[in-house]
Amino acid sequence: MVTALITAEQLYPKVANVIPAVEWATMEDDVNAILRLKKERNAVILGHNYMTPEIFHGVSDIVGDSLALAREAARVDADVIVLAGVHFMAETAKLLNPGKTVLIPDLRSGCSLAESITAEDVRELRRLHPGVPVVTYVNTSAAVKAESDICCTSGNAVHVIESLGVPKVIMIPDRFLAANIARQTGVEVITHPGACEVHERFTPNDIIQMRLDYPGVTVLAHPECPPEVVDEADYAGSTAQMIKFVADQRPAKVALITECSMSDNVAQEYPELDFVRPCNLCPHMKRNTLAKIRHALETMTNEVTVDPEIADRARLAVERMLAVGAPPK
């Protein structure tokens, strides 16, 4: 039986709380083309939580944080994966699916953390700290992962480090994530001077002022924020953990100290909650647009590949992380 394709018009209720109808009308042509192309190419779209709502709620098949996208990438049953996110995420999907075609809407979608460190930097850290395991944040290139013992994400970093049962780790490349995680594990952490250009800009004063302007607000921060910012927040967690917090606790007034699209995507689901919106945009994530997703699928361009020798070593570090399993709820 041939099933009819869902149309952009039918999808509108999924975004109606955050995208006005007149704006959605300008997107319908691209959305319909993407829905058709996904079927023709046997493609799935993996969308990070920082995608704009038309991508996140409109055309993505699987959405989540870096951990969920890595897990799902290991399971997808499709010929083509479009990674609506940034380059390191597409590389991770490719590592886990060497036989599949992985496309990214814009090849320039980088990440300040991934760009902060090279494979040679990791080798130098190992020379300086012989025998200390290297725990690498997934926000890195495949070449850096290839030099690592195990990967982690912000959603499982504590769990991954505790699974090693060692007194000291090298945790790269985000110095703020490393400092935040060190405080939760009691493990000595050696790090690298990388930072996320979005989260490093938040200050404790942003939160102090927010509490004055919006009394009663519940503040959730991403652990890529400096520890002084996390100290001012009510909760810190990965993007998926923040979404879960909102779903479970339903705070009447909430601020998500992270990338701007998070609030839009969560507000669509919980229109009764008041989202306080000082936020920072990630210029790399924002390179993703419907037009670029459509173009990548139409032309099958912007393929992400990884050198097979690097891929084999990097895959081990990612697979070791996935084998550690989900952190306790």
Beta strands in the chain (DSSP E): 43-48, 62-64, 80-84, 101-103, 134-137, 150-152, 168-172, 188-190, 218-221, 235-236, 253-257, 274-276
What residue 65 binds from ligand SF4, ligand 13P, none (CB within 5 to 8 A, per partner kind)? ligand 13P
d(CA 238, CA 269): 18
d(CA 198, CA 48): 15
What residue 154 binds from ligand 13P, ligand SF4, none (CB within 5 to 8 A, per partner kind)? ligand 13P
Judged by CB under 6 A, which of 87, 94, 145, 284 binds ligand SF4?
Answer: 284
Residue 86 binds ligand SF4 (CB under 6 A) = yes
Structure-block tokens of residue 107 = 């090849």
Judged by CB under 6 A, which of 198, 243, 267, 321 binds ligand SF4?
Answer: 198
CB of 84 to ligand SF4, least distance (A): 12
State which residue, 97 or 112, has the beta carbon closest to ligand 13P.
112
Residue 310 binds ligand SF4 (CB under 6 A) = no
What residue 288 binds from ligand SF4, ligand 13P, none (CB within 5 to 8 A, per partner kind)? none
Judged by CB under 6 A, which of 155, 173, 226, 251 binds ligand 13P?
Answer: 155
Judged by CB under 6 A, which of 60, 112, 153, 265 binds ligand 13P?
Answer: 153
For residue 127, count CB atoms less than 10 angstroms from its CB and return exposed for 0-12, middle for 13-18, buried for 19 or more.
exposed
DSSP assignment letter at 219: E
By CB under 6 A, the count of residues binding ligand 13P is 13
Residue 285 binds ligand SF4 (CB under 6 A) = yes
Q: How many residues does the chain have?
A: 329
Residue 66 binds ligand 13P (CB under 6 A) = yes
Per-position DSSP letters for 253-287, written without gaps between them: EEEEESBHHHHHHHHHH-TTSEEE---B--TTGGG
Amino acid, single-letter form, for residue 137: Y
Judged by CB under 6 A, which of 139, 180, 218, 302 binds ligand SF4?
Answer: 139
Residue 191 binds ligand 13P (CB under 6 A) = no
Residue closest to 282 by CA, chosen among 118, 119, 139: 139
CB of 63 to ligand SF4, least distance (A): 15
Residue 174 binds ligand 13P (CB under 6 A) = no
Tell whether omega for the bond before 98 is within 30 degrees of 0, i.e. cis. Answer: no
Judged by CB under 6 A, which of 28, 61, 197, 269 binds ligand SF4?
Answer: 197
Site string for ligand SF4, 108-127 (x = CB under 6 A): ---xxx--------------
Considering only residues 141-160, where is the footprint of ligand SF4 by CB under 6 A?
Answer: none
d(CA 278, CA 257): 8
Residue 282 binds ligand SF4 (CB under 6 A) = yes
Enumerate the β-bridge partners of residue 140.
none
What residue 197 binds from ligand 13P, ligand SF4, none (CB within 5 to 8 A, per partner kind)? ligand SF4
Judged by CB under 6 A, which of 30, 65, 72, 174 binds ligand 13P?
Answer: 65
State which residue, 122 or 240, has the beta carbon closest to ligand 13P.
240
3-class SS at 197?
coil
For 47, how many CA atoms within 13 A lie in the half-sphere containing its CB?
25
Enumerate the β-bridge partners of residue 171.
135
Residue 72 binds ligand 13P (CB under 6 A) = no
d(CA 252, CA 11): 27
For 23, how many CA atoms within 13 A lie in the half-sphere containing its CB?
8
Question: Could you list the residues that contact ligand SF4 (CB under 6 A)?
Answer: 86, 111-113, 139, 196-198, 224, 259, 282, 284-285
Question: Could you list the residues that contact ligand 13P (CB under 6 A)?
Answer: 49, 65-67, 139, 153-155, 196, 222, 224, 238-239
